[in-house]
Structure 1
Amino acid sequence: MEALLEVLERELMLAGRHSAMGPPGTACGPRALDRSAYVLLSRLQTDGPMSNGELAHAFRLDASTVHRQTGAMMRSGLVRRIPDPEGGMARKFTMTEEGAQRLAEDRSRIRSGLAAALEGWTSQDIGRLTEMLTRFNRSIETRDERPWPRPAPEPERAGTGGG
């Protein structure tokens, strides 16, 4: 088991490294989001407006770390602060049009890279990989008691993975 965990650890590290890269020959460019902005914007897109404290809890980060990240994102025009839509005292962050556009650009670039990397794979193989990664992530989320919100499956994605 230890040998399997050693290989798994290395492969997950490499997968994280590769996921930020686009298709071969494409530069990330000045508009590419850094990793923290990509993940924070993804969470805001799925969950809607969140306060600094909610973001810190969701990511298991110190509030000062989230404050620095959201401050940089505000200066870049990716997020803005709004009053709590539910009437609470804390102001919340929401994604701007610029943030949504840049997130969409990065997602497109990453998905193009994935498509290129998975060229020659069957849809069943891609479905199994997706199913196992989802199961793995949900196991971590259950253990940490911090589920990551996921959008409802699109009709063409539902049932993928053979199981």
Structure 2
Amino acid sequence: MLLSRHQVMARRERDAQRLERSAYLLLSRIDTQGPMSIGQLAEAFGLDTSTVNRQTAALLRCGLAERVADPEGGMARKLRITDEGGRRLAADREVNRSCLARVVADWSADEVRELENVLVRLNRSAEALEGRHWPRSEDTEREHEGR
């Protein structure tokens, strides 16, 4: 709870360019996985499609995402991050990283690595219980190495 609170406080420090939490999560998922339909996003987050529809409508209005034809030829339109959405997502990630870096500033490199390892394990355990895997860049890298 404290880590989450720290992130909320970091959001208050910033300007109006910071993303809302739902925008950050949706853009992060699309950034990691590639263009996704509203149905795919709803399934990925375990949310009702009407909820995701409202959230994605806000992304579209703000120019953070755009609708595109399914790159794989499917019928559903998909959402893709715009250049502006990518820029703002990257900026938010950097603010989050710098805030977390302040929290662990007096930790040793080994302690930071240990925290990273435990958080990865915690996330993967939660995903396993939920039955929803969050794709990661290292998964994509492994996939390409296996080809």
TM-score, normalised to structure 1's length?
0.81
CA positional deviation for 1:39: 0.8
Unaligned runs of 5+ in 1: 1-12, 154-163
Of 6, 10, 16, the match for 1:22: 10
SS in 1 for 2:73: coil
Q: Which protein has the bigger helix share?
A: 2
SS in 2 for 1:93: strand
What is the RMSD computed on CA atoms of the aligned residues? 1.5
Unaligned runs of 5+ in 2: 140-147
Give deviations 1:57-77, integer Å, cap 9, x for gaps. Answer: 000000000000000010000
Across the two proteins, how many residue pairs are aligned to each other? 139
C-alpha distance in structure 2 between counterparts of 1:58 and 1:83, whole Å: 20
Deviates more, 1:13-22 or 1:41-50: 13-22
Of 89, 93, 117, the match for 1:103: 89
Give the structure with higher Rg (CA): 1
Give deviations 1:97-155, integer Å, cap 9, x for gaps. Answer: 000000011111111111111111011111111111111110111112110001128xx
Letter in 2 for 1:19: Q
- Kept in 2: contact 1:56–1:63 (CA 8 A): yes
Letter in 2 for 1:76: C
- Kept in 2: contact 1:21–1:110 (CA 8 A): no
- Kept in 2: contact 1:79–1:99 (CA 8 A): yes
